[in-house]
């Protein structure tokens, strides 16, 4: 169902998720849903997708962004910018990847077009493996994002895999699990031991 010709005016509210029965767009979500520090709210093919916060391991990797922090340092050396959980718009779709490397600064912006993304990264959570391993990469590839990075920690063994877009599909070009050193040369030089990405320090008595 298309939006009505004379679409009514709404104040931003999550209550609208149960009131609007025509397809959502990225712009609608940005205009009509309030900013929040809770669940991710994305839009895919007209549907709003709400994801709860992932587990502690996911948050440790994302928050320390041991990974994003290090990526940011490496990316800035070549004139690129790294952001965690930025609003990325692709047509009518709205994605909020765990981290993204952009060609230009997103300072002051509520959203950035996916055409500015050089690399998009997802931290695979147990409850969203299909989305993180299949659905999202497929959409990023269709939008032409040159690189996709996946961080996995199945059985609490972190691993990092970098994929490059080749003829419309992502092919792995660098991969290593904890104990080895992940190293990539493009889109910029970067190294990390995946073991550093989880908080495994024993608590003090």
CB-based contacts of 77: which residues, under 8 Å, 6+ apart? Answer: 188
pLDDT on residue 46: 87
Task: Examine the domain organization and report whether 36 and 71 are in the same domain.
Answer: no
pLDDT on residue 44: 86
pLDDT on residue 201: 53
pLDDT in tens, the chain (205 residues): 455 545 556 777 778 877 787 888 999 989 888 887 667 888 888 888 887 655 544 455 544 456 788 899 999 999 999 998 899 999 999 999 989 999 999 999 999 999 999 999 998 876 666 566 678 899 999 999 999 999 987 777 889 999 999 999 999 999 999 889 999 999 999 999 888 877 655 444 4
| Phi then psi dihedrals of residue 118, to 5 deg | -95, -40
Task: Examine the domain organization and report whether 131 and 63 are in the same domain.
Answer: yes
Task: Examine the domain organization and report whether 103 and 177 are in the same domain.
Answer: yes
Whether 5 maps to a domain, the answer reads no
Task: Examine the domain organization and report whether 28 and 126 are in the same domain.
Answer: no
Task: Examine the domain organization and report whether 148 and 103 are in the same domain.
Answer: yes
Distance CA 146, CA 137 (A): 11
> Which residues make beta-bridge pairs with 133?
none
Sign of CA dihedral 5, 10, 15, 17: positive
Distance CA 93, CA 89 (A): 6
pLDDT on residue 205: 45
| Pairing verdict, β 88-90 and 112-113 | parallel
pLDDT on residue 135: 82
Helix (H, G, I), strand (E, B) or coil at 78: coil
Total number of domains in the chain:
2
pLDDT on residue 17: 78
Task: Examine the domain organization and report whether 135 and 153 are in the same domain.
Answer: yes
CB-based contacts of 34: which residues, under 8 Å, 6+ apart? Answer: 12, 13, 14
pLDDT on residue 187: 96
Whether 9 maps to a domain, the answer reads no
Are the C-beta atoms of residues 43 and 92 closer than 8 Å to each other? Answer: yes
DSSP state of 38: S
Distance CA 1, CA 182 (A): 47
Q: Which domain holds residue 121?
A: 56-197
Sign of CA dihedral 84, 194, 124, 169: positive
| CATH number of the domain to which 101 belongs | 3.90.1570.10
Task: Examine the domain organization and report whether 20 and 101 are in the same domain.
Answer: no
Whether 8 maps to a domain, the answer reads no
pLDDT on residue 200: 54
Task: Examine the domain organization and report whether 183 and 112 are in the same domain.
Answer: yes
Q: How far is CA 175 from CA 68, 69, 108, 159, in A?
A: 17, 20, 34, 7
Helix (H, G, I), strand (E, B) or coil at 132: helix
The reply to whether omega before 59 is within 30° of 0 (cis) is no
Whether 7 maps to a domain, the answer reads no
Give the H/E segment covering residue 69.
helix 66-76
């Amino acid at each position: 169902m298309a939006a009505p010709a004379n679409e009514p005016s709404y104040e931003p509210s999550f209550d609208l998720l149960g009131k609007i029965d025509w397809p959502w767009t990225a712009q609608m979500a940005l205009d009509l849903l309030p900013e929040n520090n809770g669940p991710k709210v994305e839009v895919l093919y007209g549907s709003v997708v709400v994801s709860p916060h992932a587990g502690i391991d996911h948050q440790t990797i994302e928050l320390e962004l041991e990974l994003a922090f290090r990526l940011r340092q490496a990316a800035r050396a070549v004139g690129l910018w790294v952001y965690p959980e930025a609003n990325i718009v692709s047509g009518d779709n709205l994605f909020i990847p765990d981290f993204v490397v952009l060609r230009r600064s997103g300072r002051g912006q509520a959203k950035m077009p996916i055409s500015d993304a050089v690399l998009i990264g997802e931290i695979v959570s147990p409850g969203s493996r299909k989305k993180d391993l299949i659905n999202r990469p497929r959409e990023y590839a269709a939008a032409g994002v040159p690189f996709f990075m996946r961080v996995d920690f199945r059985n609490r063994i972190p691993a990092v895999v970098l994929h490059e877009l080749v003829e419309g599909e992502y092919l792995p070009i660098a991969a290593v699990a904890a104990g080895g050193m992940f190293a990539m040369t493009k889109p910029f030089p970067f190294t990390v031991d995946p073991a550093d990405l989880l908080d495994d320090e024993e608590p003090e008595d």
